[in-house]
Amino acid sequence: MRTRSKGALYNSLTYTTDLYPLSCANRIHTISTGGIGNVYIGDRTTTTDVVTPDYWKRKKRGDVILNPYHNVRIVNISNGSTVMSHTSVPKTCTGPDLYSVNVYSGKMFIAMYAAAVDVPSNTNVISGTDTNRLLDEIWTRCLADRQKGLANLSESLAEIDKTFDMVSAPLENVISFVRDFRRHGKRKNKYLRVAAQSKDFIDFASSEWLRFRYGITPLMGDVKAVMKALKKDYKKEPKTVTTRASGSINRNSVSTGSFTNYPYLISYQVARADQLSVRATHFDKYTPSLFNTLGLTFHNVVGVAWELTRYSFVVDWFANIGDLLYANIPRVGVSSYGGVLTAKRVVTSFYYPTSTVSSAPTVWTVAGSASDSYLMTTYDTNRFIRSDDQSALVINSDFRFDKFNRVMDAITLTNQWLRSVGFSPH
């Protein structure tokens, strides 16, 4: 293992205090500069990796080399500058009236925040539990997709009777829809007529949507896959086959607060963003064939039992049960080299003031406002080795209904269920 760095982070943020006379006896004007402890700016990158002798020669020879790698880049920036002051009432003295004036300039918001609240930190928004869950989900999906092929004809052949019914049924459904729509249109009661015809349309649209999504679309995919498979050139020798899977999650947060640095009351916000993307890569060695490409393998045949389970695809929206089953099915004639997971994460934290008011009695007058800000960004890339037996059952990271197809599936399935239990406004 070796570790190397470039760039640096500097503790160089300062502020200036400009102090005018405090009393008639003290007519000295002083200026002082202060530093801000534990707050850094700059750009620093640290990399930890493994040195492999003859790496490029071995790669050219076809060797699969799996090494861990970790790269962290930290970029901290302080923007803007603050100018604010507080002034006392005049003092009556021999000679001209004097004021007590404190003028602050520079990185005062960050200085006061660090002193009154805490040292700014770049904190993750995505929890450790969610991070590990995404890692397990993507790795399990990658294992499940090994030797997957362009199509899954094992499932298609098992449902051949349903496929024939699907192809022949649309015309009958159209005729039935038109007949019922006209019949219900003869109702005298306007509300019952609209309700019945709306139900006719929803039932028809639901059936045709499910037919399109889970009948016609897979059938078209199978046809295309067969055409591609027949055009491929299959060499009768083992080769290294790479399987990949990826996924990501994003989280944001905004927190607010205030603190007092007499005579200033400063309100602020901290906006954070956390973006995590995971990519899994697995390497196998086997002799590809037409059967592999079409999904006619032991792996696919065993998995058909889950695919034919009623509403198994709905279960797979929420948990990776299907992937877990496929990941643990033995693969005949396949030698595994193992694989790696690469997690890329970008975390940002932005500290900025929102208002500055006086927290003092009327003897003080506050002018100006805090206006400097502080931005922290961490770019973290971590690659580590995973083994074939590290698949896991998890709740999917994207199970929410934020995709059009999934929303439509849910609506149509709900309608199908209502029909099955006899719900109808007719």
pLDDT at 361 (0 to 100): 73
- Tell me how far CA of residue 404 lies from CA of 352, 363, 401, 407, 410, in angstroms: 37, 62, 8, 5, 10
pLDDT at 216 (0 to 100): 61
Query: Residue 48's beta-bridge partner residues?
Result: 3, 70
Q: Under 8 Å CB-to-CB from 398, ≥6 apart: which residues?
A: 247, 249
Please answer whether residues 325 and 342 qualify as being in contact, where contact means their C-beta atoms are separated by less than 8 angstroms: no
pTM for the full predicted model:
0.77
pLDDT at 284 (0 to 100): 93
pLDDT at 426 (0 to 100): 47
d(CA 63, CA 382): 22
pLDDT at 31 (0 to 100): 85
- Tell me how far CA of residue 150 lies from CA of 20, 241, 245, 289, in angstroms: 79, 14, 15, 12
Please answer whether residues 109 and 369 qualify as being in contact, where contact means their C-beta atoms are separated by less than 8 angstroms: no
pLDDT at 169 (0 to 100): 54
pLDDT at 259 (0 to 100): 95
pLDDT at 128 (0 to 100): 94
Q: pLDDT tens track of the chain, all 426 residues?
A: 899 999 999 998 988 888 777 666 666 778 888 888 889 999 999 999 998 888 778 878 888 889 999 999 999 999 999 988 888 766 666 655 556 677 888 899 999 999 999 999 999 999 999 999 999 999 999 999 898 876 665 666 555 555 555 555 554 555 565 565 556 566 666 655 656 656 655 665 666 666 666 666 666 666 676 677 667 776 778 888 999 999 999 999 999 999 998 888 999 999 999 999 999 999 999 887 777 777 777 777 777 778 777 777 778 778 889 899 989 988 888 899 999 999 999 999 999 999 999 887 777 788 889 999 999 999 999 999 999 989 999 988 765 555 555 555 565 656 555 555 455 544
Q: DSSP assignment of 91-133, as one string?
A: B--SSS-B--EEEEEESHHHHHHHHHT-------SS-HHHHHH
d(CA 232, CA 239): 15
